[in-house]
Amino acid sequence: MDKEMKVLSYDYRMDTVRMIMSGGGGHIGGDMSEMEILMQLYLKEMNISPENQNDPNRDYFILSKGHAVESFYTILGHKGFYDLEDAIARFSHFGSEFIGHPNNVIPGVEMNSGSLGHGLPVAVGLAIAAKMDKRPSRVYVLMGDGELAEGSVWEGAMSGHNYNLDNLCAIVDRNHLQISGNTENVMKQDDQEKRWAAFGWNVIKCDGNDFDALEDAFAKARAHKGDPTVIIADTIKGKGSPIMENKAGWHHHLPNAEEYEQIMKDLEAGKEAAINE
């Protein structure tokens, strides 16, 4: 168990909640489910930093589920791309560049995203370009499971296999919930492993809220040659506080004063438990 990362995940969640409160709203449920994925990518996996953000040999990340941007901004702030407290104070305020979807005028953001289904096709293009230029760059894209109802996702999946993009890694935040309810009630997804495998992808399934499982999954993705990899990361929407967990109503929600107090108490308790493990 990566104890340090687990402890940090509670700090990062609290910063994300503070950002949402400052901005008057946000996609808090998905922010919480994707936190460990983003942390593993930016703190352990990817070759990306404020110092090399313009290096063509860097790794690339696209948050295709761009509505869950607050945790992404938190990660980039902690990574040193900008002052996190400034981002929290100005999030979603008039005239701020820290808007409710990724904005590529912000250091560290590669692509404006939020129109669901676009992230994977763009990632395919980035991966093809890296191959053509013989660059070592790897390309990572995080999608929501509700997003997989978009047809352009599967056009990108076909292309990724067709061009043997083993420098491409897609991650599905499989929390089973979207704005209108359970994904299986909105658009059935059947067996995700079989579906991606049928499109020619190397498929890895793991616990997306467990750092050790994610580390192992990304290592396997890097080692696999000849095909792109998809990591189906089983996660908990709203992870960190029982009042949010596995509840579709927390897809986009501004906590009231009582809810905010309880969430922060729960996150502090989780941090303390992680410290004492």
Q: Which two tokens stand for residue 11?
A: 């700090």
Integer Cα distance of 16 and 113 in angstroms: 19
For 250-261, write each residue's pLDDT tens digit.
888 899 999 999
Q: Is the pLDDT of residue 181 over 70?
A: no
Count: domains in the chain:
1
User: pLDDT-derived band of residue 136, with 50, 70 and 90 as boundaries?
Assistant: very high
Percent of the chain with pLDDT over 70: 97
Query: Structural domain of residue 7, as residue ranges?
Result: 3-276
DSSP 169-200: EEEEEE-SEETTEEHHHHS----HHHHHHHTT
pLDDT tens figures, 13-57: 999 999 999 999 999 999 999 999 999 999 999 999 999 999 999
pLDDT digits (tens, 9 = 90+) for 189-241: 778 899 999 999 999 999 999 999 999 999 999 999 999 999 999 999 999 99
Phi/psi for 3 (5° steps) reads -60, -45
pLDDT of residue 251: 87
Look up the CATH number of the domain holding residue 192. 3.40.50.970
Residues 50-101 have pLDDT tens digits of: 999 999 999 999 999 999 999 999 999 999 999 999 999 999 999 999 999 9
Q: CA-CA-CA-CA torsion for 111, 135, 165, 127, nearest 10 degrees?
A: 20
| Confidence category of residue 1, pLDDT binned at 50, 70, 90 | low
The pLDDT of residue 186 is above 70: no
Q: Tell me the pLDDT band of 277, cut-offs 50, 70 and 90.
A: confident
d(CA 167, CA 134): 11
The C-alpha atoms of residue 188 and residue 152 are separated, in whole angstroms, by: 17
Q: Which amino acid is at 11?
A: D
